[in-house]
Amino acid sequence: MNRTVRSALLAALLCIASPAIAADTINVCVWGTITGPDALVNGMSYGTHDYFTYLNQNKGGIAGFKVNSLLLDGRYKLDEELKIYRRCVDQENAVFINGWSTGAAKALRETVTQDGVPFISETFSSEVVDPVKYPYVFVAGPTYEQQMLVGLRAAKAAGAKKVVLMHGDNEYGRGPVTVVRKSGEIEKMGLELVDAIEFKYDAQDLTAQLLRVKSKKPDVIYIQSSTPQTLVILRDAAKVGLPPTKFIGNMYNISPTIPQQLGAAAEGFRAIQIYADYGADIPAMKEILTFKAKNEVAKQDVYYMKGWLEGKVMAAGIENAIKKNGGKVPADLKAFRKSIRDETEALKNLDVGGITPPLTFANHQGSTQARMAKVKNGHYVSVGSWIDAR
């Protein structure tokens, strides 16, 4: 016993002492909110990290090279995320970085470009998507604004006239709502915006706000908030007698927690679907089940699917860059990073195992398609077909 402990300690010490970077490995960095206010959706980070483990275990890595993926906790704190970014670029020599918050993506968008590091973020903010100004920044789906318009278009098609927007008082909540409101897109659609209501992003009771909503008699209420507050909204809506069928949330509200916790008060609630749900009958799910046979899957939800997809995009970019270099990992880190960026941007009709339709990354966001999902008998079912959000 004692000897085991001692040798384990010795081994650990040796691990620390020896330089971590072995030749011919590919370093990538993933950071998310492992602990923090929006940890509910951190399946996104686990999904990406797990995909690289899957590649190592089943495909011999990328193009024959092991992937060294590091998962870190940004705690949804800007200074922590900026620190992690520097570690990834400077110490871990990551060739592709997967980051988290809208704030960090905005603070880093110019730095990333100067450093020349391919960077994919969990945000959908339109302020970081610009292939010309920010050539190294990628996201993985339609922007929040595009999601909002898809939702409202679907409501309009069903005969809605009056719209209320509800959002939290953080960047993720207020930003996209302001952009859409000022763009006049809602009026162009032939809808009337009767009110926009901001609430504290971690609000625990919104009865009074929903009474205000009710007094405006809207046909549709679009929610731009995280799942915990969507729960509060739907719960208090039931209290004041607003049916869940009037509410639409974005892709972050497609969480199974909503029907699980609310039961009848969630029946008919709609949310934007961008990615196939966990457990869908698609090729990517078979990969995940293969992975699950040997490892633990931390979060079994749609966000994990998003993470898995991002892993596929990153891996495809890296693989093509290696192919271009004659099957070898380029010795020059800077050139490798640049090449990965170019190859990611050049991805055309990339098959992502059915999580979304095939992806083309010239626009730096891949899919711009979304469709509606509706809670029926406690589960989300897709309604209608894919709509292009542009």
Question: Per-residue contact track with another protein, 48 to 77, x per CB under 8 A?
Answer: -----------------------xxx---x
Q: Rounded to the nearest whole angstrom, what is the least distance from the CB of residue 158 to another protein in the complex?
A: 26
Regarding 18 and contact with another protein (CB under 8 A), the answer is no
Which residue from 277, 252, 264 is spatially nearest to 354, judged by alpha carbons?
Answer: 277
4: Cβ contacts below 8 Å, ≥ 6 apart: none
Regarding 267 and contact with another protein (CB under 8 A), the answer is no
240 vs 282 by CB, closer to another protein? 240
In whole angstroms, how far apart are CA 52 and each of 139, 312, 367?
18, 9, 22
Distance CA 72, CA 381 (A): 33
Regarding 174 and contact with another protein (CB under 8 A), the answer is yes
Q: Rounded to the nearest whole angstrom, what is the least distance from the CB of residue 298 to another protein in the complex?
A: 9
Regarding 208 and contact with another protein (CB under 8 A), the answer is yes
In whole angstroms, how far apart are CA 59 and each of 24, 132, 314, 359?
16, 34, 15, 22
In whole angstroms, how far apart are CA 110 and each of 29, 107, 116, 149?
19, 8, 10, 28
86 vs 379 by CB, closer to another protein? 86
Range 216-235, binding another protein (CB under 8 A): 227-228, 231-232
66 vs 239 by CB, closer to another protein? 239
Give the residue, chosen from 82, 189, 280, 333, that forms a contact with another protein under the rule CB under 8 A. Answer: 82
212 vs 371 by CB, closer to another protein? 212
Distance CA 134, CA 114 (A): 10
Regarding 292 and contact with another protein (CB under 8 A), the answer is no
Three-state SS for 28? strand
The β-bridge partners of 66 are 25
The β-bridge partners of 31 are 72
Q: Rounded to the nearest whole angstrom, what is the least distance from the CB of residue 108 to another protein in the complex?
A: 9
Residue 171 near residue 102, CB atoms below 8 Å: yes
For residue 233 the two structure tokens come to: 């909204």
Select from 140-148, 206-214, 351-359, 367-375 the region that touches another protein (CB under 8 A). Answer: 206-214
Distance CA 84, CA 72 (A): 8
101 vs 369 by CB, closer to another protein? 101
Side-chain half-sphere exposure of 371, counting CA atoms within 13 A: 15
For residue 259 the two structure tokens come to: 């029907």
Select from 53-61, 195-203, 307-315, 338-346 the region that touches another protein (CB under 8 A). Answer: 195-203
Select from 11-19, 246-254, 334-342, 346-354 the region that touches another protein (CB under 8 A). Answer: 11-19
Regarding 170 and contact with another protein (CB under 8 A), the answer is yes
Regarding 376 and contact with another protein (CB under 8 A), the answer is no
261 vs 360 by CB, closer to another protein? 261
Three-state SS for 372? strand
Residue 373: alpha-carbon gap to chain centroid: 17
Binding site for another protein (CB under 8 A): 12, 15-16, 33-37, 39-40, 42, 71-73, 77-80, 82-83, 86-87, 89-91, 103, 106-107, 110-111, 127, 169-171, 173-175, 178, 181, 195-196, 198-200, 202-209, 211-212, 215, 227-228, 231-232, 238-241, 257, 260-261
